[in-house]
Amino acid sequence: MSTSPVSPPSWAAEVSRSLYIRGDRRPIFHPVFISRPVSPLNTSTRTCTALAKDALLPHMPAFAAALRSRWTVNRPDIVHAQYWMSGLASLEGVAALRIPYAQTFHALGIVKQRLLQDQDTSPPERVPTETLLSRMADAVVATSAAEVHELARMQALGRQVSVVPCGVNTDLFSPDGLKGGKSCRKRIVVVGRLVRRKGVDEVVRALKRLPMAELVIVGGSGGSDPDADRIRALAQAEGVADRVELRGALPHTEIARVLRSADLVVCFPWYEPFGIVAIEAMACGRCRRPR
């Protein structure tokens, strides 16, 4: 179960697809918040109003009530919550119905606070909520040993903690396959959100010192959004606008093609709890897997 402003994250879609292929038809709950009050489980095609991740917290009680109502009728065998807000929304139902509950945080608020300081926009409830969730969960599935260390520092280690690192679909991200077309210049690729902390600005500035290179940026809407406008304005100011291309958000099949076309993939965030782009880029590298 996951929470996201409008649509499920790509990893959730990938998990859903893999489970379906294996014959598992159990539902994955995901809220869609639209401009008029409706059930957060509503997945109709009405126009959605995007909310920032940190603006979702006030909607969690409604999501929690809807989950408990659904689970009362159709009780799941286990609830595996992704991110802290999903865990918060799950608590009411799992406690009342005594459903086994696992929690994956993916990123911890205490780490984000330490690294971003006054630029951290997380709600103040995040760290104490993560501590509570970790202690109440039947199992915590961490994505790294570093995350387990941080939970221990928070005195938030629960009953059982396992480490399952982030993975990559090597059927899709591999050296074999189509490549995106490119010019005669060396190609630098950046993939990710365009928010300031992802370090895209630094890569644009560095391009000024690499006159034989072009920069392809995958992420954002590709249309009119403040982050994309900021990147375009910076490229213009640095005199490299003719060598910077913003592709916007792309499906994973297209991202794999772009990564295979790169001479260099750059990941330069101030803070990065996932690192999946780096793994996908390495999977698309020129070094072939052993046969």
Q: What is the pLDDT of residue 220?
A: 83
The pLDDT of residue 159 is 73
Domains of the chain: 10-163 (3.40.50.2000), 186-283 (3.40.50.2000)
* pLDDT tens-digit series, residues 198-241: 999 999 999 999 999 999 999 986 556 889 999 999 999 999 99
More confident residue, 247 or 44: 247
pLDDT band of 99, cuts 50, 70, 90: very high
Those residues whose C-beta lies under 8 Å from the C-beta of residue 222, and which sit 6 or more positions away, are 228, 246, 247, 248, 249
Instruction: Identify which of 62-66, 150-154, 240-244, 249-253 has the greatest average pLDDT.
Output: 240-244
User: What are phi and psi for residue 228, nearest 5 degrees?
Assistant: -65, -40
Percentage of the chain surpassing pLDDT 90?
A: 45
Q: What are phi and psi of 142, to 5 degrees?
A: -90, 155
Tens of pLDDT, residues 66-81: 899 999 998 988 999 9
Which H or E run contains 103?
A: strand 101-104
What is the pLDDT, as a whole number, of residue 216?
96
Q: Which pLDDT band holds residue 45 (cuts at 50, 70, 90)?
A: very low
CA 155 vs. chain centroid, Å, equals 26
Q: Of 212, 210, 211, 192, whose CA–CA distance to 200 is shortest? A: 192
The H or E element containing residue 258 is helix 252-261
Beta partners for residue 49, in sequence order: none
Q: Which two tokens stand for residue 48?
A: 């959605």
β-sheet bridge partners, residue 191 = 218
pTM value is 0.76
β 186-191/101-104 pair status: unpaired
The mean pLDDT value for 158-170 works out to 85
Q: Please report, as a single letter, which amino acid is at residue 29.
A: F
Contact 139, 104 (CB under 8 A): no
Virtual CA dihedral for 235, 239, 242, 248, nearest 10 degrees? 0
Reported as a single tens digit per residue, the pLDDT across 103-143 is 999 889 999 889 888 888 899 999 999 999 999 999 999 98
